[in-house]
Amino acid sequence: MFVVTVALLVPPFQAYSYLWPFGDECPPRPGLLLKVPLGPRQVPGCLLNADGVYRDDLRAVEHCSKDPLFPSAMVAFFEWTARYYHAPVGEVLATALPAAILSGARRVTAPELVYTASESDVLPRGICKRRILEWLRGNGPATGSQLRAHFPSGSASLARLVAEGLVTKQGLSPNTAAPSPSLPEVEPLRLTSEQETALSQVRTALASETFAPFLLYGVTGSGKTEVYLEAVREARRRGGTALVMTPEIALTPQLVTRFRERLGEGLVVLHSGLAERARQAAWQAVQSGAADVVIGTRSAVFAPFERLALVVVDEEHDSSYKQGQGLRYNARDLALWRARNDGAVALLGSATPSLGTFLRARQGKTGLLTLERRVGGRPLPEVKLVDRSGGKKRGALSDELAAALEENLERGEQSLLLLNRRGFAPFLLCRDCGAVPRCPQCEISYTYYRRRNLLRCHYCDTVVPVPDVCPQCQGTQLVPCGAGTERLEDELAARFPLARIARMDSDTMARRGAHERLVAQMRTGEVDILLGTQMIAKGHDFARVTLVGVLDADATLFLPDFRSTERAFALLTQVTGRAGRGMLPGRALIQTCNPGHYVFNCVLSHDYGAFFAEECRFRQEMSYPPFGYLVNLVVSGSREEQTADAAARLARALAETAPSEVEVLGPVPCLLSHLRGKSRFQILLKAPRRAPLHQALAALERLRLPSAIHLVVDVDPIDMF
C-alpha cells in the first residue's frame, strides 16, 4: 500500500499519514478530495503527497474523488502559505476551497437549465431584468451557471423574467454540452503615450515568461484599468491565463462589465459573496481550463490555474486584501508569490501605493511604471481645505460646502460626500450624568440609528432598543452626539428638498444588487448627491461628478495606529480623485480641524512623493514597516485575569527563546480590550528581518496554553486593533 499525507479540512486542520487502499485503479495524486477516519468520525481531507513512511498503526483512506481539486503545483503554494502565516495547511486549504466542494458536492448532479430570450420586443421594468434580457438577446441561450457568473445577484430577476414569459427555460441533459455564448469584443481605446510606454514593458515581460513584478503608479483617472485590460489581452494572445484582483466585492461588477465588453467569453468571477453553487461552478471552470481569466477579491488568489501568465492587483495598497478572521493572509503578498512560482508578470496598481511597494520600486526591486497625467489631459481636481477648528458648528456641513453643493445642483452636476461613519450618531450622551450606553460584550459605545430607533454595536452586531431613560441616573436627557451618514442624509434633505439624494454604506448596500443599482442610477444621472462611507472612495468612475466633499477628515488621521496617516492620505487622495473624471473640471472641499497637518498639504498638491518622504522618516526612525517587520499576537479569553496571566507567560517565554534581534513588546490590553465577550491582550514582535520572527514563532508553537485561551498569530499585521 501507498502511504499518503492528508491535510484535514476540519479542525484540527493538521496533516496526517494514511494508507492508500485503492492501488493502481486510482493512483494517489495531489489535490484529491478524500474522506478519512479521525477517531470515530469520517472527515474530509485533501491529499498532499504520496511519499509517507509506512507504519503498522496507520488507518486507511475511506473514499477519494475522481479528479484533483487543483493542479499539483499548487501544493507548494498552500504549504508555503501555511509556513509563512504559521497556520495548519488544512486551514489554508479550507480557506481556499469553495464550501460546496468541502461538503463533498464535487459535481453538480441536478440537470442544468438553459435560458433563452423570447422573440418579444417588450422591455421589462427593472434595471436588472432589462440587462439580463438584453444580454440573452445579444449572446444567445445560456445556462444558469453562466448567467450567475455574469449577474451574481440576478436570480430573482431571472425568475421574474421566466414568469412574465420573456425568457424560457428547459433542462439540459448532463451529457449535452452547455451553450457557449459568443461575445463580441469591443475595440480598445486609443492609449496615451504613458499607457503605451507602460504596456510595452509589460508585453516584453510577458514574452520572457519569467517572473517580473511591476508597480503601475498612476494618478486617479490616468487609465490604469485600460493598461490592465490590454495586458490581459496580451497574456491571452500568448496562450496564458490571468488573475485580476480587486479589493472590494462591490467594485467587482463594474470591473467585470468592462472586461467582458473587451475580452468576450472565458472570464469568470470568483469571490466569497457568490452563492455556493456559482462559486463552485467558477472554480471548476478555471480548473477545467474553460475559463482563462478570473476577476475576484482576495479569495480569488487561490484560483486553481495550471499556470499563470499575469497577475493584476488593483488598488494594491488597500487593507481589504488582508484577511481579518481565521487565516490572516494578505492576498497581495500571496499574489506575488504565485506570480514568482509560476514565472508570471505581477502588475500592482495604485494612485497611492503602500510604502513598502513604492520603496521596493524606488530600490529597483520592482519595475516602476508611471502615469502622471489623466486621460485626455484632464486636470486633477482643485482641492481646498475648510477649517472647522473654531466657532460653533451648525450641522455636519460647513457653509462653504453647502454653497458648493447648491452651485452644483443649479448646474445639474453631481456631487459626492464622504463621511466615514455609519448610523445617525456615533453615540448617545446623557446630559444629566455624562453616561454613554455601551455594548456589554465589547465595552464600545453603541451607534445610534434614529430611523429604526435602535442602538447597534458595529463590532459584535448586537442590537438593543433605545432606552427611554439613562440606565445610570434615570435621566431623560439622552441626546445623539456627532454625525453619521444617516444624520447627514437627513440634513441634506432638509437643506436641499428638491435634490435627489442617495446613500452608499454597508447598511444601505446589504441587499443583493443594491450596489449595482445605485451605480447605474449615478451613471444615468438619477442621483444628484451621493453620500457614503469609504465605499464611495474606491474605483468609481462617474463622469458627471464635479464636486467631492469630505466631512470630518480627521477621524482616520489620529487613530492609535502607526499606519493611520498612510490610510488617511490614501482615502483622501482616492475620494478627491472621483471629481472631474469627465469633460468638466472637478473640485474637492475637505473639512478639517487640523489644516496644518502635513497629510493635508500633500493631498492639496497631489504630491505622493512628498508624503512618502515624510512618512518614511518616521517609519525608519521607529523601525516600523517597511523598515522592519512585525508579528502581532492576540491572546483572548473569557476571564480577564486568566487571559492576562497567559499573555504574560507567553511574553516571558518569547523573551527567553526568541533570537536577540527580536524585540518583544507587551503584553498590553488591545485597543479594543474587550470584544464579543472576550478580554484581549496583545504582544508585538518587532525585528529588522523576517527570519528571526519566524524562528521565534516556531519556538512558540511548542508552548501549551490553557484550553480556554485563544491565540491569534498575525504575521505582517495591517492594523493594531
Query: How do residues 444-494 score in pLDDT, each as one tens digit?
Result: 999 999 999 999 998 988 999 999 999 889 988 999 999 999 999 999 999
Closest CA to 428 of 417, 416, 438: 438
Indicate the burial class of 8 (C-beta count within 10 angstroms; 0-12, 13-18, 19 or more): buried
Residue 475 lies in a domain: no
Give the separation between CA 119 and CA 468, rounded to whole angstroms: 60
Domain containing 258 equals 193-376
CB 425 within 8 A of CB 448: yes
Residues 491 and 588 placed together within one structural domain of the fold: yes
How confident is residue 187, by pLDDT bands cut at 50, 70 and 90?
low
Residue 188 lies in a domain: no
CB 422 within 8 A of CB 506: yes
Would you call the peptide bond into 626 cis, given omega within 30 degrees of 0 as the criterion? yes
Residues 213 and 359 placed together within one structural domain of the fold: yes
Question: pLDDT value at position 174?
Answer: 33
pLDDT tens per residue across span 626-636: 999 999 999 99
**335 pLDDT exceeds 60?**
yes
Residues 141 and 83 placed together within one structural domain of the fold: no
**159 pLDDT exceeds 50?**
yes
**181 pLDDT exceeds 50?**
no
Find the mean pLDDT for residues 36-42. 92
**118 pLDDT exceeds 50?**
yes
Specify the pTM. Answer: 0.85
**52 pLDDT exceeds 80?**
no
What are φ and ψ of residue 222, in 5° steps?
A: -90, -5
Closest CA to 532 of 548, 516, 512, 513: 548
The number of beta carbons lying within 10 Å of the beta carbon of residue 704 is 7
Question: pLDDT value at position 186?
Answer: 54
> How many structural domains does the chain have?
5
How confident is residue 145, by pLDDT bands cut at 50, 70 and 90?
low
Q: List, in order, residues 6 or more apart from 296 with CB less than 8 Å away.
A: 243, 244, 245, 246, 252, 269, 270, 271, 303
Higher pLDDT, 74 or 116: 74
Give the separation between CA 449 and CA 554, rounded to whole angstroms: 23
Domain boundary among 602, 620, 638: 620
**663 pLDDT exceeds 50?**
yes
Residue 180 lies in a domain: no
Q: Are strands 545-550 and 587-592 parallel, antiparallel or unpaired?
A: parallel
**105 pLDDT exceeds 50?**
no
* Helix, strand or coil, per DSSP, at residue 571: helix
Is the torsion defined by CA of 664, 669, 674, 680 positive or negative? positive
Residues 494 and 612 placed together within one structural domain of the fold: yes
Give the separation between CA 594 and CA 592, rounded to whole angstroms: 5
Closest CA to 427 of 444, 452, 451: 444
Residue 476 lies in a domain: no
Residue 391 lies in a domain: yes
Cell of 406: 447648491
**248 pLDDT exceeds 90?**
no
Give the separation between CA 271 and CA 296, rounded to whole angstroms: 5
Tracing cell 509556513 back to the chain, one arrives at 83
How confident is residue 183, by pLDDT bands cut at 50, 70 and 90?
very low
Residues 548 and 669 placed together within one structural domain of the fold: no
Name 554's bridge partners: none
Residues 324 and 238 placed together within one structural domain of the fold: yes
CATH number at residue 506: 3.40.50.300
CATH number at residue 116: 1.10.10
Residues 208 and 347 placed together within one structural domain of the fold: yes
Domain boundary among 47, 72, 102: 102
Find the mean pLDDT for residues 512-538. 89
* Helix, strand or coil, per DSSP, at residue 458: coil
Indicate the burial class of 447 (C-beta count within 10 angstroms; 0-12, 13-18, 19 or more): buried
Give the separation between CA 401 and CA 407, rounded to whole angstroms: 10
pLDDT tens per residue across span 57-85: 889 999 888 889 999 889 999 999 999 99
**37 pLDDT exceeds 80?**
yes
Domain boundary among 138, 172, 206: 172
Residues 201 and 288 placed together within one structural domain of the fold: yes
Residues 286 and 357 placed together within one structural domain of the fold: yes
Residue 187 lies in a domain: no
Residues 401 and 287 placed together within one structural domain of the fold: no
- DSSP class per residue in 450-487: TTTTEEE-TTT--EEEPPSS-TTT--S-EEEES--HHH
**317 pLDDT exceeds 90?**
yes
How confident is residue 108, by pLDDT bands cut at 50, 70 and 90?
very low
pLDDT tens per residue across span 412-425: 999 999 999 999 99
Cell of 497: 428638498
Residues 367 and 389 placed together within one structural domain of the fold: no
Least confident of 24-28, 117-121, 345-349: 117-121
Cell of 695: 524562528
Question: pLDDT value at position 1?
Answer: 66
Residues 224 and 362 placed together within one structural domain of the fold: yes
Amino acid at position 479, single letter: V
Alpha helix (H) residue ranges in 306-455: 331-342, 355-362, 399-411
Residue 658 lies in a domain: yes
Q: List, in order, residues 6 or more apart from 111 with CB less than 8 Å away.
A: 171, 172, 173, 174
Question: pLDDT value at position 180?
Answer: 39
Question: pLDDT value at position 570?
Answer: 96
Amino acid at position 88, single letter: P
**660 pLDDT exceeds 60?**
yes
Indicate the burial class of 583 (C-beta count within 10 angstroms; 0-12, 13-18, 19 or more): exposed
CATH number at residue 645: 3.30.70.600
pLDDT tens per residue across span 269-280: 988 877 788 888
Residue 428 lies in a domain: no
**231 pLDDT exceeds 70?**
yes
**251 pLDDT exceeds 50?**
yes
CATH number at residue 57: 3.40.1440.60
Is the torsion defined by CA of 402, 407, 410, 414 positive or negative? negative
Mean pLDDT (the chain, rounded):
89
* Helix, strand or coil, per DSSP, at residue 217: strand
**303 pLDDT exceeds 80?**
yes
